[in-house]
Chain A
Amino acid sequence: MGIYLLRRFVALIPVLIIVGTIIFFIMHLMPGNPASLMLGPEATDEQITALSEKMGLDRPVLIQFFEWFKNILRGDFGNSLFFQGMPVTRVVYEHFQATLFLTLTGLSFAVIFGIVFGVLSAAFHDRLPDRILMVITSIGVAIPNFWLGLMLALVFAILFPILPPAGYKPLSAGIWTSFRYLILPAVALAFGQASLIARMTRANMLESLQNDYIRTARAKGLPEGIVVFKHALKNALIPTITVIGLSFANLMGGAVVTEQIFNIPGIGRLLIKSVFTRDYPVIEGIVLYIAGAWVLVNLLVDVAYSFFDPRIKY
Chain B
Amino acid sequence: MLRVTNQESKARGSRRFATVRLFTRNKTALFGAAVLLFFIVVALGAPLIATHRPADMDPSLRLNKPNAVYFFGTDRFGRDLYSRVVYGSRISLGVGLSVVASTTILGALLGLLAGYFRSVDEILMRILDGLMAFPGIILMITIMAVLGSNLFNVILALTVVYTPRMARVVRSAVMVQREMTYVEAARAAGAGDLRILLWHIPRNCVAPVIIQATMIFAYSVLSESSLSFLGVGVPPEIPSWGNLLSDGKVFLRRAPWITIFPGLTIAACVLALNTLGDGLRDILDPRIRKKKI
Interface residues of A (CB under 8 A from B): 14-15, 18-19, 21-23, 26-27, 30-32, 37, 138-139, 141-144, 146-147, 150-151, 153-154, 158, 249-250, 252-254, 256-257, 260-261, 271-272, 274-276, 278, 280, 283, 286-287, 290-291, 294-295
Nearest neighbor of B136 in chain A, beta-carbon distance: A253
Contact partners of B141 in chain A: CB under 8 A: 256, 271-272, 275
Interface residues of B (CB under 8 A from A): 126-127, 129-131, 133-139, 141-147, 218, 222, 225-226, 229-232, 245, 248-249, 252-253, 256, 259-260, 263, 266-268, 270-271, 274-275
> Do B245 and A146 have beta carbons less than 8 Å apart?
yes
> Do A150 and B263 have beta carbons less than 8 Å apart?
yes
For residue A158, give the distance in angstroms from its CB to the closest CB of chain B.
5
Known: A153-B252, A256-B137. 6 other contacts (CB 8 A): A141-B274, A142-B267, A151-B259, A158-B252, A257-B137, A278-B145
Contact partners of B274 in chain A: CB under 8 A: 138, 141-142
Q: Of B126, B135, B225, which one neighbours A14 at CB under 8 angstroms?
A: B126
A142 with B226: in contact, given A147-B245, A147-B266, A287-B134 (CB under 8 Å)? Answer: no
> Do B145 and A283 have beta carbons less than 8 Å apart?
yes
Say what secondary structure dominates the interface of chain B.
Answer: helix
> Do A22 and B137 have beta carbons less than 8 Å apart?
no
- 12 A-B Cβ contacts within 8 A? A18-B129, A18-B130, A22-B131, A37-B146, A150-B252, A252-B138, A257-B137, A275-B232, A276-B231, A287-B134, A294-B133, A295-B133
For residue B76, give the distance in angstroms from its CB to the closest CB of chain A.
16
Nearest neighbor of A34 in chain B, beta-carbon distance: B146
For residue A291, give the distance in angstroms from its CB to the closest CB of chain B.
5
A154 with B134: in contact, given A26-B146, A272-B230 (CB under 8 Å)? Answer: no
For residue B285, give the distance in angstroms from its CB to the closest CB of chain A.
14
> Do B138 and A256 have beta carbons less than 8 Å apart?
yes
> Do B135 and A249 have beta carbons less than 8 Å apart?
yes
Q: Of B134, B218, B231, B259, which one neighbours A147 at CB under 8 angstroms?
A: B259
Contact partners of B270 in chain A: CB under 8 A: 141-144
Kindly state the separation between the CA atoms of A15 and B132 in the bound complex, as whole angstroms. 10
In the complex, the number of residue pairs spanning A and B with C-beta atoms less than 8 Å apart equals: 130
Contact partners of A30 in chain B: CB under 8 A: 146-147
> Do A150 and B222 have beta carbons less than 8 Å apart?
no
Contact partners of A256 in chain B: CB under 8 A: 137-138, 141, 230
> Do A22 and B144 have beta carbons less than 8 Å apart?
no
> Do A23 and B245 have beta carbons less than 8 Å apart?
no
> Do A151 and B134 have beta carbons less than 8 Å apart?
no
Contact partners of A278 in chain B: CB under 8 A: 145
A26 with B142: in contact, given A21-B130, A150-B249, A291-B133 (CB under 8 Å)? Answer: yes
Q: Lowest 3 CB-CB distances: which A-B pairs, in order?
A: A253-B135, A18-B130, A147-B263
For residue B185, give the distance in angstroms from its CB to the closest CB of chain A.
36
Nearest neighbor of A295 in chain B, beta-carbon distance: B133
Kindly state the separation between the CA atoms of A250 and B133 in the bound complex, as whole angstroms. 11
Contact partners of A283 in chain B: CB under 8 A: 142, 145
Contact partners of A26 in chain B: CB under 8 A: 142-143, 146
Q: Which of A21, A26, A252, A261 has the most CB of B within 10 A?
A: A26
Q: Of B133, B222, B232, which one neighbours A272 at CB under 8 angstroms?
A: B232
Kindly state the separation between the CA atoms of A139 and B272 in the bound complex, as whole angstroms. 10
Q: Of A22, A32, A142, A271, which one neighbours B130 at CB under 8 angstroms?
A: A22
> Do B143 and A146 have beta carbons less than 8 Å apart?
no
Contact partners of B218 in chain A: CB under 8 A: 142
Q: Of A19, A22, A141, A144, which one neighbours B266 at CB under 8 angstroms?
A: A144
> Do A290 and B134 have beta carbons less than 8 Å apart?
yes
Q: Which of B145, B230, B270 has the most CB of A within 10 A?
A: B145
For residue A165, give the distance in angstroms from its CB to the closest CB of chain B.
9
